[in-house]
Amino acid sequence: METAQPAYQENYCLVGENTFQAAYRDALNRAREVLHNRDKASCCAGGGAGLNRLNDNTTTIEICFLNKSLNITLPGFSFNAATQEETTSLWEQILILHYLANSQQAALQNTLINYRRLRDGALYAEAFERRCIEPLLANFGPSPERLITAAAPLGGTPADFADIAVRIPALPRIEIICCLWKPDKEFGPEATILFDAGAEDFL
């Protein structure tokens, strides 16, 4: 039994990874199709991206994602970063393409909300807190001031929320606002992440 267990675990991980990769590929293909059928100029104007026509067959979209400059070459939808060391993962490509496709009609609402108040956010709130809020607290809860330095490479700047907060421009129209409250005698550190209420229309 002891010798069989590692093989089972390895096979299970491979199956799980392959299943997720297939799902990501399907989602990427759908995102490409949606953007392909939209007016690229309107999408880029609404999403704060640049559109450059190189010739009759090739167009590039320039967009900033987490302080990283990206070029998307159409019609092949190939992603190229400013430096060869940087890569754009499948899920990042899916996110960016959906953002661009939806930017044609989406608009910010200038009202901040937490994840639970996003459409269907309550359904995934526990997973979001486990994957985002808890690591934020684990890394910066004891020393919230470190968040400002850590966010700087992502283009983050201090924000007037909570005890310590930063605005991180994830995409040209979408900011992530990470907030931390320092611990006191009665309570430990607390954290939340805020979004513009219009973020769900972009994404």
Q: Which long-range contacts (CB under 8 A, 24 or more apart) does 63-71 make?
A: 63/96, 63/100, 63/171, 63/172, 64/155, 64/169, 64/171, 64/172, 65/92, 65/96, 65/170, 65/171, 66/154, 66/155, 66/168, 66/169, 66/170, 67/153, 67/154, 67/155, 67/169, 70/96
High-pLDDT (> 70) share of the chain, %: 91
What is residue 13's predicted lDDT score, i.e. its pLDDT?
Answer: 54
Measured CA angle at 156 (ends 88, 115), to 5 deg = 75
Q: Where are the beta strands (DSSP E) in the chain?
A: 50-53, 59-65, 68-74, 78-81, 112-114, 157-158, 164-171, 174-181, 190-196
3-class DSSP state of 6: helix
Q: Say which range, 15-24, 52-61, 74-83, 125-134, has the weakest mean pLDDT.
A: 15-24
What is residue 124's predicted lDDT score, i.e. its pLDDT?
Answer: 92
Task: Report if pTM > 0.75.
Answer: yes
Mean pLDDT on 26-45: 94
Tokens at 3, concatenated: 């010798």
High-pLDDT (> 90) share of the chain, %: 72
What is residue 21's predicted lDDT score, i.e. its pLDDT?
Answer: 83
